[in-house]
Amino acid sequence: SRIASLLHRKSAKQCKARWFEWLDPSIKKTEWSREEEEKLLHLARLMPTQWRTIAPIIGRTAAQCLEHYEYLLDQVQKKEDGEDGDDPRKLKPGEIDPNPETKPARPDPK
């Protein structure tokens, strides 16, 4: 609260959150190692949605763990989709109607 008193626009709660989520020197900000990723995936299977419990085991913040877990899931999904699912840059000519506005409107189903 002493630091918050020096910052006119921040509350003590905001200063504490900023310290514990970003400024604390014990927080790792380096790239994730393969071992950390494997440990994260294993712990997420054992304790789904328990990011506050998982974070100290890995040595990262809960937000970092959640964000990286979602990133890993996205990477797996891209591999399963073959990486060319709905990407418009990979469509062949003729697969998309160049004038979608020219088709007559259909009534809404009732």
CA-to-CA distance for 49 and 52, rounded, in angstroms?
9
Would you say 71 and 57 are in contact if contact means Cβ atoms under 8 Å apart? no
Please determine, for residue 27, whether its predicted confidence score (pLDDT) is greater than 70: yes
Q: pLDDT tens-digit profile of 43-78?
A: 999 999 899 999 999 989 999 999 999 999 999 888
Helix (H) or strand (E) segment spanning residue 18: helix 12-18
Asked if 56 contacts 40 with a C-beta cutoff of 8 angstroms, the reply is: no
Does the pLDDT at position 83 exceed 60? no
Provide the whole-model pTM: 0.61
Q: Given pLDDT bands bounded at 50, 70 and 90, which one contains residue 88?
A: low
| Right CATH for 30-81 from 1.10.10, 3.30.420, 1.20.1260, 1.20.1630 | 1.10.10
- Which residues have a Cβ under 8 Å from the Cβ of 28 and sit 6 or more positions away? 59, 60, 64
What percent of the chain stands above pLDDT 70? 77
